[in-house]
Amino acid sequence: MLEALYFLYLISFILQPIAMLPTIISQMKEAGGAAKHLFEVLDWQNERQDGEMTLVDQKRENEAPHLKDDANGEANRMSEGGAESDDDVDSVAVVSFEHLTFGYDEGNTVLNDISFQAVQGDMVPIVGASGGGKSTIFKLLCGFNEPGEHAGTIQLFGKSLTDWNLTSLRSHISMVSQEPSLFPATIAENIGYGRLEATREEIVEAAIAAHAH
């Protein structure tokens, strides 16, 4: 009788950990997924060092922007010989992709030898199937991804994208994603995220303009 009691007592120590195994396995799977995302962030390469070129908006009749070089403070209109008239400025390609090839993974090319130009005032539609690289073009233009050393060039107003200050560059580009991302915050905070100094009235005005009010 005593041996039976000892046996049941020991069995209780064994059964309890076994009963917890499904919960532990589930937690390990969740932790593995979280760890994968964490290591992806840790493996990210640092963004390139900012260039010195910044966009300076000019209140001109044709609203054509020109460049400012922070290193010497001199404004330069972006044409090879230096544009002297509004017509010259208008003819300079605002955005130029030349023989660009890009892929997120080795052997998986998303863009293959892409070339196009967008001139001041042009409206350029980029049409393609889902997953064809349309969003990738804008990510490259914003500097979120970098093309390889011998994978073509991206120029903005005739200057390589690497010459540009990323903060200034991104502040002049707007992108509406097909899958909106919302931060765990209020609607007002989500709308005002792009302009942290925006007042309540400006946020409401933006919401009304976007038919979200």
Query: For residue 83, what pLDDT is reported?
Result: 40
Same-domain check for residues 64 and 141:
yes
Q: What is the CATH number of the domain that holds 76?
A: 3.40.50.300
Who's near 113: CB < 8 A, 6+ residues apart?
99, 100, 101, 152
Query: For residue 56, what pLDDT is reported?
Result: 58
The domain in which residue 200 lies consists of 182-213
Query: For residue 203, what pLDDT is reported?
Result: 93
Query: For residue 205, what pLDDT is reported?
Result: 93
Same-domain check for residues 63 and 92:
yes
Query: For residue 55, what pLDDT is reported?
Result: 63
Same-domain check for residues 66 and 171:
yes
Same-domain check for residues 14 and 110:
no
Cα 114 to its chain centre, rounded Å, is: 20
Classify residue 47 by its DSSP letter.
P
Same-domain check for residues 210 and 173:
no
Q: Taking Cα atoms as reference points, which of 92, 60, 56 lies closest to residue 73? A: 56
Residues of the chain with pLDDT under 50: 57-89
Same-domain check for residues 100 and 144:
yes
**How many domains is the chain partitioned into structurally?**
3
Residues 152 and 114 sit within 8 Å (Cβ to Cβ): yes
Same-domain check for residues 116 and 163:
yes
Same-domain check for residues 190 and 165:
no
Query: For residue 200, what pLDDT is reported?
Result: 92
Query: For residue 32, what pLDDT is reported?
Result: 86
Q: Taking Cα atoms as reference points, which of 150, 48, 138 lies closest to residue 100? A: 150
